[in-house]
Structure 1
Amino acid sequence: MTDTTVPARASLTQRWPTGLALVSAVAAIVLLDHTVEQFGPLVVTMAGIYLLTYALGPPLTVWPAFVALSIVFGVLRALDDLDALPADPAVVMTGVVVLLWLWTVLRRRFTDGSTFRLQTAGLVGFGAVTLLCAAIAPRWGLALAGIGWLAHGAWDAYHFATNKVVHRTYAEFCGVIDVVVGPALIVVALV
């Protein structure tokens, strides 16, 4: 008889995305008082990471896609802080993700029917949430951002379960952040 149990150390090291996500989520919540306006645009940014990964092809490209769009978002926030951005960061980031969608079409990824339609629906849905967050009163925008983060957590769970588009480590990482930060945003908005 063969022993098929996994040593505790191995299973803990396989959960590194959850550990990293919890640290990241706590940092986001600690910074919440100072950076409330960034959480709405991050909803479409998260969808953009999936879209960029889908356009590139290999699921492991999600980590470079995460870094790239995080840098783009950081530059937009810095330009907005300097009053050098001609529009709201939510609008500009949504435009960036629409450009990623067009690039996906140019790469002929639309031939992958159902997955392309799902990623397009993600762009439309999460983009709409982002734009609506920017258009309504900050308190309600923050609550809507929290709902958007929770919805993206469901998006992550779906992609984790189906093991499509992004690497499972990223779906786990992003999903944990979403289900921790989303409710925190809603609570802060309602308190």
Structure 2
Amino acid sequence: MTTVESPRPIKLVDRWPTALAVVGLAGAISVIVLLDREVELFGPVVVMMAGIYMMAYAVGRPRAAWVALAALSAVVSVLHALRQAGVLPVEPAVGMSIVVVLLWLWAVARRRFTDGGVFWLQTAGMVGFGAVTLVCAALAPRWGVVLAGTGFLAHAAWDAYHFRIDKVVDRPYAEFCGVVDLVVGPALIVAAFA
């Protein structure tokens, strides 16, 4: 007689990435509601999200996505502060796109391109999300916000794919980011027309 083990029931503590995302969402939604700078603040985040994946990929450790989130959030915040102070000669969207290209060059220098398909998928993500960010900065604010919201929704699909394949970033990060993207994307689109 063989015994079949039933899967372990999912406990609330297993959903900590979703709980963490809800905390982050409180801040993001507050910014959307209280400030009228959605395209300026959220446009660069679209490419930053691709940069988090690229940085974790370059390091070669999926859990590095959490460190990349902290590091690149700090970078985009500094870019905004420098722009507000009149020190940064370019938009934060352009600055963040340059940072992500530097991360790609770092991945190349680490010879990550030998991974073939995974490298090219991350490169395509970087280019696609980078293009969304740059176009957001170039459009009229309302349409830039709509495009940023669409970029967040597209990144939610990116997160879901990476959650399923369990590569590049760890599953908890993909879950966290996916939840954030699924709420912030529509919130930005609604804010554009409110």
TM interval, shorter chain, is over 0.9
Structure 1 unpaired stretches of 5+:
none
Partner in structure 2 of residue 11 of structure 1: 11
TM-score (norm 1): 0.95
Shift of residue 140, structure 1, vs aligned partner? 0.4
Partner in structure 2 of residue 20 of structure 1: 20
Q: Secondary structure at the match of 1:83?
A: coil
Q: Which of the residues 108, 118, 132 maps onto 1:105?
A: 108
Q: Secondary structure at the match of 1:71?
A: helix
Counterpart of 1:23, as a letter, is V
The residue correspondences of 1:1-191 to structure 2 (distance < 5 A) are 4=6, 6=8, 11-32=11-32, 33-34=34-35, 35-36=37-38, 37-191=40-194
Distance 2:84 2:17 in 1: 31
Distance 2:76 2:159 in 1: 20
Counterpart of 1:138, as a letter, is P
Distance 2:104 2:167 in 1: 18
Root-mean-square deviation (Å): 1.4
Shift of residue 26, structure 1, vs aligned partner? 2.4
TM-score (norm 2): 0.93
What is the CA deviation profile of residues 63-94 of structure 1, one whole-angstrom value per residue up to 9, with x for unaligned ones? 11111111111111111111111100000100
Percentage identity across paired residues of the two chains: 61
Number of aligned residue pairs: give it.
189
4+ runs of 1 displaced by more than 4 Å? none
Structure 2 unpaired stretches of 5+:
none
